[in-house]
Amino acid sequence: MQPDLQRAAMVEEQLRARGVEDERVLEAMATVPRELFVPKATRGRAYEDVALPIGDGQTISQPYMVGLILSGLRLRGGERVLDVGTGSGYQAAVLAEMGADVHSIERVPKLAVRAREALAAAGYADRVEVRVGDGTQGLPEEAPFAAIAVAAAAPVVPPSLYGQLADGGRLVVPVGARREQLLLVVVRSPEGPVALAGVACRFVPLVGADGFGDG
Ligand code: SAH
């Protein structure tokens, strides 16, 4: 099947049918060539309903999880967004396609290099900045962010990330144990964090100062 047909089927069957309703997210995911963000050997599986290995024990998130994370951010276009855990660069590309000014941070240098290449090949290089570092600490010099998306599991809501949200800003992060988490939407308000109930999920661990320890 042609990639554009596979993308359209992915949006209908994996996203819309399961309750992802944000049209801007659906449109962007129907546009970004996901096959450019998976290793060549697994390109034929790019639109499957699963997370796929991208090397270094890491994965490109399942499309449904990307849909849930990005819907939780409630973006309208033009916002400054922090993407924690660049991985393949796919989620950063979808954010860019939605019109966001994307700052993405990855701890594994090799993955950051590959993500930059994939983002360039897909035409998003000028809208996404990929940095290497500990994303649990955010990017203080670029803060505040209207939205922060975290694609790896944290033991608690990382305090530095909450602190780098603009007022009314939204942070979506899987929080819980190493093997199972809840995808939380946390909104910054003058009274403090407001956490909205999330769905059960399973992400690779966020490794860093406010993440899980190494190993
Ligand atoms: N958004 C990615 C999903 C990648 S999986 C995609 O669309 O492909 C999560 C990624 O988070 C992995 O690449 C992992 O190396 C990275 N990661 C884990 N801990 C991190 C940290 N403290 N800072 C930045 N990246 C981290």
Which residue has the least CA distance to atom 23 on ligand 1? 135
Catalytic residue status for 61: yes
- Give percent of the chain above pLDDT 70: 99
DSSP single-letter state for residue 77: S
Q: Which atom of ligand 1 is nearest to the CA of 105?
A: 24
Options 3.40.50.150, 3.10.110.10, 3.30.720.110, 3.40.50.300; which CATH number does 3-201 get?
3.40.50.150
Residue pLDDT, tens place only, 137-172: 999 999 999 999 999 999 999 999 999 999 999 999
Residue 14 C-alpha from the chain's centroid: 17
Residue pLDDT, tens place only, 1-34: 899 999 999 999 999 999 999 999 999 999 999 9
Q: Name the residue ranges covered by the structural domains of the chain.
A: 3-201
Distance from the alpha carbon of residue 191 to the mean position of ligand 1, in angstroms = 30
Tokens encoding 155: 């033991």
As a three-state string, the secondary structure of 58-125 is EEECCHHHHHHHHHHCCCCCCCEEEEECCCCCHHHHHHHHCCCEEEEEECCHHHHHHHHHHHHHCCCH
Q: What is the mean pLDDT of the chain?
A: 96
